[in-house]
């Protein structure tokens, strides 16, 4: 329960005066998933879909040039 409660804390309740200064480090920790050659041809279609969803989400959240 403590973990859940702390993950929902707002910038105001944590003493941060400017919420726009919050940094999201997920873009530095994760990146797009690349396939090579005929990887997509031999992968299960569900895997290909999940990779596509991951990459689209990464691009939407982090931008294309990160």
> Does residue 34 form part of some domain?
yes
In a domain, 16, yes or no: no
Domains of the chain: total:
1
Does some domain include residue 3? no
Question: Which residue range(s) make up the domain with 38?
Answer: 24-66
Higher model confidence: residue 34 or residue 12?
34
Dihedral angle of Cα 25, 29, 32, 37, to the nearest 10 degrees: 170
For the whole model, what pTM was predicted? 0.57
C-alpha 13/C-alpha 15 separation (Å) is 6
For residue 15, being part of any structural domain is answered with no
Residue range 23-58, pLDDT digits in tens: 567 788 889 999 999 998 899 999 999 999 999 999
Q: Establish if 37 belongs to a structural domain.
A: yes
Please check whether residue 54 lies inside any domain of the structure.
yes
């Amino acid at each position: 329960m403590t973990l859940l409660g702390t993950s929902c804390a707002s910038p105001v309740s944590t003493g941060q005066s400017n919420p726009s200064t919050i940094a999201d480090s997920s873009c530095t920790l994760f990146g797009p998933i690349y396939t090579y050659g005929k990887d997509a041809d031999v992968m299960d279609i569900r895997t290909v879909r999940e990779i596509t969803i991951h990459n689209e989400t990464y691009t939407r959240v982090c931008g294309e040039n990160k």
